[in-house]
Structure 1
Amino acid sequence: MENQDRLNKPIGTKELPKLEAKEVEVQGLRLDPKTKKGSDKVVGELLVLICKHPDREELIEFTKVKTLKGDNLKVLGLWYSEDSEGNVQKGSSVADLMSFIGVKTLIELEGKKIMTVEQSKDTTYLCVKAY
């Protein structure tokens, strides 16, 4: 009977609460392989920042960063790539984030406090701020 009750519910009037752009603490990180749509072929790896937001009990994950390129703000995926020496690729969004935060290795991001910002006026999801 419980399922039947839920099937008879109308659309609610309350909006889903949105998280505000605030400082978050990096609690962990991982690299997630990304596959081409409709295929099992791995096309790259995304850095996932696992963070604690002050207004939310559960941890949240970020895979995008907002940076300043020239005079333009850009939202980029945190695609992980290495140079010919096996280091984080200079000029990549991951390297830009590391430089902005002031760390030499990704593992040093753990425990750091970083700011978040809305991706854009149209896309109000949060991303990491690196400008």
Structure 2
Amino acid sequence: MDFAKKVISLGLILSLFQVSLAAVYQVGGPVGWKLGFNYNQWAGNQLIRVGDTLVFKYIKAVHNVLQVTQQNYASCNTSSPVATFSSGSDSITLKTASHHYFICGTPGHCLGGQKVDILVS
């Protein structure tokens, strides 16, 4: 019985430790989410893991964030996003280890480079 309590306690401690390891990344760093920045270069310098959170900060009258498929990312197709965010300060917790694709839905912005491929390990 004593051993079972220790195992349960250890499991709880480890799960709390894992939560505390989650990081928050502001996409683009202090630049935020706007035109004229190389987001894929920024993303390539980050070690983003499952449970981490992306924060997109931008002027909501000018930009938004669309989560899209790989195909729509490559073509800058905004017609069928997986999810749409438009608060100006969007927090997205990454729940799967894979590529996650985000673009700005304002006409011309994705084609102008306002897009990011986030690889989550």
Calculate the TM-score normalised by the size of structure 1.
0.26
Higher strand share: 1
Calculate the TM-score normalised by the size of structure 2.
0.28
Higher helix share: 2
The structure, 1 or 2, with the larger RCO (C-alpha pairs under 8 Å, 6+ apart) is 2
